[in-house]
């Protein structure tokens, strides 16, 4: 459905998967992957959001380590993905994502408004897009290590939703409590807990997909995007 394009930076280009909506034009949506990078599953998510009217872009987040490495959900794939993740410079990556956001804002098939959604590693990146890159709206699914960046929460001026699983050792209850307490009283930030779900509950077709939680999280996500990226719907 989509196509591979390149995003320019001062250090050279990197790959990203672009999908346009059926209308050909719409708000931009940056789709940020798990540590497995923008593999077929993430590209499928990007296609799904494009069907809802968004111009979606799923970037290669490991391009500075080795370009175009996308990992399967296997033991070997997980080992490779973890190795790449350990080498990742998150601050540099967020700056790289700024170029992707600029592409979405300035493209002739974009409305100029941009949101972000991410999963696991991408969930943290989506949070940082809100804190550093001034997206219009951000969604994080089981974002890891967000608690390490809570000092940046005051920079977040856009609506944001955080989805967490009840059984998730990668985002344990103590970390989740820190995150929740930081956003108490902020009416435009919603933190949702899915008590019967595990980390990765949105990964349809793969364990530990949890259909009920995934459907509810998607409904909440689409409602948030609709109300903030399509101004006429407000």
Along the 234 residues of the chain, how does pLDDT read in single tens digits? 899 999 999 999 999 999 999 999 999 999 999 999 999 999 999 999 999 999 999 999 999 999 999 999 999 999 999 999 999 999 999 999 999 999 999 999 999 999 999 999 999 999 999 999 999 999 999 999 999 999 999 999 999 999 999 999 999 999 999 999 999 989 999 999 999 999 999 999 999 999 999 999 999 999 999 999 997 654
3-state class (DSSP) for residue 68: coil
- Please give the model's pTM, rounded to 2 decimal places: 0.97
Residue 234: predicted pLDDT: 47
> How many angstroms separate the CA atoms of 81 and 97, rounded?
19
> How many angstroms separate the CA atoms of 158 and 7, rounded?
25
Q: Copy the structure tokens of residue 75.
A: 């033991």
> How many angstroms separate the CA atoms of 228 and 234, rounded?
7
Residue 152 sits at the vertex; the CA angle it makes with 148 and 153, to the nearest 5 degrees, is: 100
**Domains of the chain by range and CATH?**
3-233 (3.40.50.1820)
Residue 118: predicted pLDDT: 98
**Burial of 185 (C-beta count, 10 Å sphere; 0-12/13-18/19+):** exposed
């Amino acid at each position: 459905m989509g196509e591979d394009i390149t995003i320019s930076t001062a250090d050279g280009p990197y790959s990203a998967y672009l999908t346009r909506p059926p209308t050909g034009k719409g708000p931009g949506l940056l789709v940020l992957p798990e540590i497995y990078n923008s593999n077929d599953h993430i590209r499928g998510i990007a296609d799904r959001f494009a069907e809802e009217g968004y111009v979606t872009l799923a970037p290669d987040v490991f391009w500075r380590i080795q370009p175009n490495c996308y990992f399967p959900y296997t033991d070997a794939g997980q080992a490779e993905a973890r190795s790449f993740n350990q080498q990742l410079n998150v601050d540099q990556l967020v700056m790289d994502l700024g170029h992707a956001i600029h592409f979405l804002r300035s493209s002739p098939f974009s409305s100029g408004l941009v949101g972000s959604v991410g999963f696991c590693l991408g969930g943290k990146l989506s949070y940082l897009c809100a804190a550093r890159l001034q997206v219009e709206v951000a969604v994080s699914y089981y974002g890891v290590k967000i608690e390490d960046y809570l000092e940046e929460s005051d920079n977040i001026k856009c609506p944001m939703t955080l989805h967490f699983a009840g059984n998730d050792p990668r985002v344990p209850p103590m970390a989740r409590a820190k995150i929740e307490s930081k956003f108490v009283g902020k009416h435009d930030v919603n933190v949702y807990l899915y008590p019967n779900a595990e980390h990765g509950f949105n990964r349809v077709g793969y364990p530990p997909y949890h259909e009920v939680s995934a459907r509810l999280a998607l409904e909440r996500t689409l409602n948030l995007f609709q109300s903030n990226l399509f101004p006429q719907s407000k």
